[in-house]
Copies of this chain bind each other. A is one copy, B any other.
């Protein structure tokens, strides 16, 4: 169950590039192919490695705008959160949504093509949700860092 140094190295390498061959991985961690193969399968079966995905460049496919959205719900109704969560999961523009502590209830990361698209999204998909009581938007002007790699 516990990860040793080799496992951590493998996870670091695979988070960087999932196409590395078992042979290459084996060379980098100074083991032979078999144990590396077994370790990777184990990490997959344990659910530590969740999936392998392609990351695409959003700007090159016309998704130049990224916006963080802060939302507060009307907490009068008990079912507000459930309803809101389910609605959000259906929206492809929302890549991340978390319930957070602080001055608002939710923090969303939204990706759209431009300001016009954001306006449409905002007015016809977000503000339309009954449970929303307050919203505010913060537009991304520069991405200083963006990675999926959890350092180990």
- Residues of B within 8 Å of A46, CB to CB, are 60
A31-39, A72-80, A123-131, A138-146 - the one binding chain B: A138-146
Query: Contact size class for A?
Result: 35 or more
The answer to whether A60 and B89 touch across the interface, beta carbons within 8 angstroms, is no
Q: Count this chain's copies in the assembly.
A: 2
Is A58's beta carbon under 8 Å from chain B?
Answer: yes
Residues of B within 8 A of A49 (CB): 54-57
4 closest A-B pairs by CB: A92-B151, A14-B54, A99-B142, A102-B138
Q: 14 A-B residue contacts at CB 8 Å?
A: A11-B56, A17-B52, A18-B52, A18-B53, A52-B52, A61-B152, A68-B100, A88-B144, A89-B145, A92-B151, A95-B147, A95-B148, A100-B138, A101-B141
